[in-house]
Structure 1
Amino acid sequence: MRVKLMSILVDDQSRARRFYVDVLGFRIKHDVPLGEAAWLTLVAPGDADGVELLLEPAGHPAAAAFKQALYRDGIPLAQLYTEDIAAEFARLKAKGVVFRGEPRAMGPTRFADFDDTCGNLIRLVEG
């Protein structure tokens, strides 16, 4: 058994696509129109067969309430990993990403949380 796909609930698929592709640097794996939305999955650069992020519309009332509660309480919806948090933090800040503070220690690693422009906090972790 393995993880193949992870959903990121988003308020607006088009905005999410721009942010995750143009700002974070993910690559589109699947973009299949499904009415007003799409089956839109992304992969990390250089990892075409890795875990896919599904940018999933958060239209269901339960999804919206869940996202809002996590955001309000400062709980990240997902974690993304980087080898060098200082470099990635600087790169993303230069692209306009809004962080909730500087990278900070958590045990043997460091992390920083940012807003994905789609109603989620995402945690960037060095590891």
Structure 2
Amino acid sequence: MNKPTEAELEILSILWKMGEASVRQVHEKLAETKDTGYTTTLKIMQIMHAKGMLSRNEQSRTHIYSPLTNQKETQKSLLKNLMSTAFGGSSKSLVIQALGEENPSQEELNEIRNFLDQLENKKS
């Protein structure tokens, strides 16, 4: 799998939510949070298509793009890379850093506890 750049990841996250979209639709979503030009979005999506990250339906005048990369697999790969490079392979350090920087809600803490319980039960 090609490791997506930050800009590519932003586009992928939009397409994972939408399923498929035109360049204009993706650009409008991006423009809600950052100042970027339409031609920049178009160029990045063309590159992503060439890399095999996106499929492109050219049936109509407006090309429709869909993600070819799986969200869970991409997240897993990026997290594995981050953990090995930034945290020396320590999942504990990564989790402590992530939770230390944020202020998780009680609901999030309960979900994390339940997840840890499930992991422990698998090992028993």
Give the structure with the higher percent strand: 1
TM-score normalised by L of structure 2: 0.27
Choose between structure 1 and 2 for higher RCO, CA contacts under 8 A separated by at least 6 residues.
1
Larger radius of gyration: 2
Higher helix fraction (1 or 2): 2
